[in-house]
């Protein structure tokens, strides 16, 4: 395959470097909300287009902004002063032939359903204003969807990179947020909000975790009650992190808190997200498509969330590159790390990237010709099955954040 390059590297694997920094933004973080909601709209639109026309029509719902609202918090309660505002932007197909598609209604219903399913205290009808500013796409890009054949042309010249495996630090940061936002944890500690952020810093064999997770003002009676509840939550976090595979794990929880300052010294939320009054969100500022922001790894610049799943390589290649890297790592023995770069050229079929570059870091000696042949087979398998993969993306089967 002329487009494929396989290179054996002598890099120090990420998990062997002295310092590693990894972040994850959780369910209630404003940036996560933007990514996840825009993706939900894309999946809903894809479903409608498929139902009506048997194909996913042109759309990109990847320009979104969540504008923070205003609340008044008190110990024991509070009230919403100004709703959050979610601005849904970019492009969609509103009409095909003689058929109109209710794009705005689909977008608003998707937003309401997402908030209902993910943030317990948010009433999407009262607490979130939705402004849909989607417009029809350009004639040239929309024309990609009128071409014959199921495999679309790439609608952009773009590059993406994926890697495998997760380092222990990446896994710890990811799993910590998932634990804190799990149904079991929220049942045990209903006073905790969904706006969880975990920052991991590993130095040699020690891991330092900084966790931000607010307590619900309606379930905190006083400053004393806040710190008592915080201590119990911190104990549960410690119990979880004690099982992580590091020599030492230090957990720092809600580090801005300060006893004796009343409401000014505690991290509380009325609705479970800082978007209620403190922090706005934007598509593309959250987790990468594998669920973490790993600062020691190469990262692409594309926001995958909300992009159409059949021609926009900003979504397809970002997720596909990680899947390729994972498969290479799993199938070929003796590898420390795998990186896969995919480069598209606008107009070329998405199953024919301009370049596929695979970098492998071995644990020891490798039979390089055999490894390169195995990598080539795996890459070819993915490209031959790309129609199946894009169908999975259209159904929302691959997380983007």
Report the C-alpha gap between 347 and 328 in whole angstroms. 28
197-203 and 19-25 strand pairing: antiparallel
pLDDT tens, the chain, 401 aa long: 679 999 999 999 999 999 999 999 999 999 999 999 999 999 999 999 999 999 999 999 999 999 999 999 999 999 999 999 999 999 999 999 899 999 999 999 999 999 999 999 999 999 999 999 999 976 545 555 556 567 899 999 999 999 999 999 999 999 999 999 999 999 999 999 999 999 999 999 999 999 999 999 999 999 999 999 999 999 999 999 999 999 999 999 999 999 999 999 999 999 999 999 999 999 999 999 999 999 999 998 899 999 999 999 999 999 999 999 999 999 999 999 999 999 999 999 999 999 999 999 999 898 999 999 999 999 999 999 999 999 999 999 999 99
Domain ranges (residues) in the chain: 15-26+168-272
Query: Helix, strand, coil % (nearest 5) of the chain?
Result: 35, 25, 35
How far, in whole angstroms, is CA 380 from its chain's centroid? 27
What lies within 8 Å, CB to CB, of 11 at 6+ separation is 337, 359, 361
Q: Which of 13, 15, 24 is nearest to 285 (CA)?
A: 24
User: What's the whole-model pTM score?
Assistant: 0.95
Q: Is 295 helix (H, G, I), strand (E, B) or coil?
A: coil
Per the CB < 8 A criterion, the answer to whether 287 and 35 are in contact is yes
Q: Which of 322, 329, 332, 301 is nearest to 393 (CA)?
A: 322
Domain 15-26+168-272 has CATH 3.30.300.340: yes
Report the C-alpha gap between 77 and 9 in whole angstroms. 57
């Amino acid at each position: 395959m002329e487009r494929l390059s396989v290179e054996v590297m002598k890099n120090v694997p990420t998990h062997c470097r002295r310092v590693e920094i990894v972040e994850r933004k959780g369910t209630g973080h404003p940036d996560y909300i933007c990514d996840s909601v825009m993706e939900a709209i894309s999946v809903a639109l894809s479903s409608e287009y498929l139902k009506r026309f048997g194909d996913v029509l042109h759309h990109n719902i990847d320009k979104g902004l969540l504008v923070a609202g205003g609340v008044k918090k008190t110990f024991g309660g509070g009230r919403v002063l100004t709703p959050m505002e979610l601005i849904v932007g970019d492009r969609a197909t509103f009409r095909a032939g003689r058929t109109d598609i209710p794009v705005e209604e689909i977008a608003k219903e998707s937003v309401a359903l997402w908030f209902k399913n993910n943030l317990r205290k948010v009433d999407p009808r009262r607490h979130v204003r939705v402004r849909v500013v989607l417009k029809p796409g350009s004639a040239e890009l929309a024309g990609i969807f009128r071409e014959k054949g199921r495999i679309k042309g790439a609608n952009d010249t773009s590059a993406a990179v994926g890697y495998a495996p997760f380092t222990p630090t990446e896994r710890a940061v990811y799993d910590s947020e998932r634990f804190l936002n799990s149904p079991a944890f929220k049942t045990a500690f209903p006073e905790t909000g969904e706006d969880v952020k975990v920052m991991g810093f590993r130095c040699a064999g020690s891991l330092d975790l900084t966790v931000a997770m607010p307590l619900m003002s309606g379930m905190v009676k006083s400053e004393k009650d806040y710190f008592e509840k915080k201590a119990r939550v911190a104990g549960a976090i410690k119990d979880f992190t004690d099982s992580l595979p590091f020599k030492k794990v230090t957990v720092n929880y809600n580090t801005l808190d300060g006893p004796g300052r009343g409401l000014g010294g505690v991290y509380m939320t009325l609705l479970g997200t800082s978007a209620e009054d403190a922090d706005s969100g934007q598509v593309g500022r959250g987790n990468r498509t594998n669920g973490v922001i790993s600062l020691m790894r190469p990262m692409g610049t594309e926001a995958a969330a909300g992009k159409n799943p059949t021609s926009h390589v900003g979504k397809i290649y970002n997720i596909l590159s990680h899947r390729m890297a994972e498969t290479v790592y799993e199938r070929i023995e003796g590898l420390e790390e795998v990186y896969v770069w995919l480069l598209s050229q606008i107009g070329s079929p998405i199953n024919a990237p301009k370049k596929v570059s695979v970098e492998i870091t071995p644990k020891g000696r490798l039979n390089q010709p055999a490894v390169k042949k195995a990598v080539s087979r795996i890459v070819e398998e993915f490209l031959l099955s790309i129609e199946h993969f894009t169908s999975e993306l259209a159904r929302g089967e691959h997380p983007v954040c």
